[in-house]
């Protein structure tokens, strides 16, 4: 969800205003995803690298995560979304972890759309964490293959990623789902995240549907 800061700067507003506006996008977007029959969707909310931002912005973001969980989760629950947190616990304030846990518990039985919130998430961190837990479990080297490895990712039940949507025109992966995007299609748009809409999401799905995926085949 990139481009909140630039959206605000262009309006002479503080960056926090961009983050707030970015949250307003979520309801129509998740509705569109549900309607389109999307099975799972991951929102990249905060990366393991985002701690490098000024302390005030980090604080504002943490506050917004808690506030958004309180405000949006009941509504998402009614619409049948199952929320799951992916990321490292260490470093996140207890109140954020608590809000995430509550959201997971409240929505655990829903099955319309799986929404993964990537928070304090890094693709490399996820791979390292998986390797650590495999070693803790004492897996012998010959037991480690791609399937076994994937079972140690943060959300082993999640389907393979089909499509990555990158807003604000950046042409990089930024440590997002490194393992899972091996064969993902990319949709890059200049649109800044607060301006991203259900209509554009639908256009991204259409663009995806028109591509031919060979996955290394001929």
Give the interface with ligand IPE as residue ranges (CB under 6 A).
Answer: 1-6, 46, 50, 61, 168, 193
**CB of residue 15 to ligand IPE, shortest distance in Å:** 6
Q: Which of 50, 77, 110, 175 is catalytic?
A: 50
The nearer residue to ligand IPE, 1 or 99, going by C-beta atoms, is: 1
2 catalytic residue (yes or no): yes
Q: Which helix (H) or strand (E) holds 21?
A: helix 15-24
Q: Which of 2, 129, 162, 195 is catalytic?
A: 2
Pick the closest to residue 119 from 204, 194, 176 (CA basis): 176
Structure tokens at 56: 């005030």
The nearer residue to Mg ion, 62 or 97, going by C-beta atoms, is: 62
Considering CB distances under 5 to 8 angstroms, the limit depending on partner class, which of ligand IPE, Mg ion, none binds residue 194?
none
162 catalytic residue (yes or no): no
Tell me if residue 191 falls in helix, strand or coil. coil
State how far the Cα of 154 lies from the Cα of 49, in Å rounded to an integer: 18
The nearer residue to ligand IPE, 49 or 98, going by C-beta atoms, is: 49
CB atoms near residue 149 (< 10 Å): 16
**CB of residue 170 to ligand IPE, shortest distance in Å:** 8
State how far the Cα of 188 lies from the Cα of 165, in Å rounded to an integer: 6
Q: Which residues are catalytic?
A: 2, 50
């Amino acid at each position: 969800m990139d481009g909140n800061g630039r959206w605000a700067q262009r309006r002479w507003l503080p960056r926090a205003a961009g983050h707030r506006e970015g949250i307003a996008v979520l309801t129509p977007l998740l509705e569109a995803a549900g309607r389109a029959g999307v099975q799972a969707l991951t929102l990249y909310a905060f990366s393991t690298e985002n701690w490098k931002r000024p302390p005030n912005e980090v604080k504002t973001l943490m506050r917004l995560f808690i506030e958004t969980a309180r405000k949006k989760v009941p509504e998402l629950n009614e619409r049948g979304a199952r929320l799951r947190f992916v990321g490292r616990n260490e470093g996140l304030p207890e109140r954020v972890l608590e809000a995430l846990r509550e959201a997971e518990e409240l929505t655990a039985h829903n099955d319309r759309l799986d929404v993964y919130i990537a928070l304090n998430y890094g693709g490399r961190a996820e791979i390292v964490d998986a390797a650590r837990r495999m070693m803790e479990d004492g897996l012998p080297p010959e037991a480690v293959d791609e399937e076994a490895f994937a079972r140690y990712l943060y959300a082993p039940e999640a389907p393979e990623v089909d499509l990555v949507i990158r807003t604000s025109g950046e042409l990089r992966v930024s440590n997002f789902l490194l393992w899972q995007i091996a064969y993902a299609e990319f949709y890059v748009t200049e649109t800044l995240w607060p301006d991203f809409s259900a209509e554009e999401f639908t256009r991204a799905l259409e663009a995806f549907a028109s591509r031919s995926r060979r996955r290394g085949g001929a």
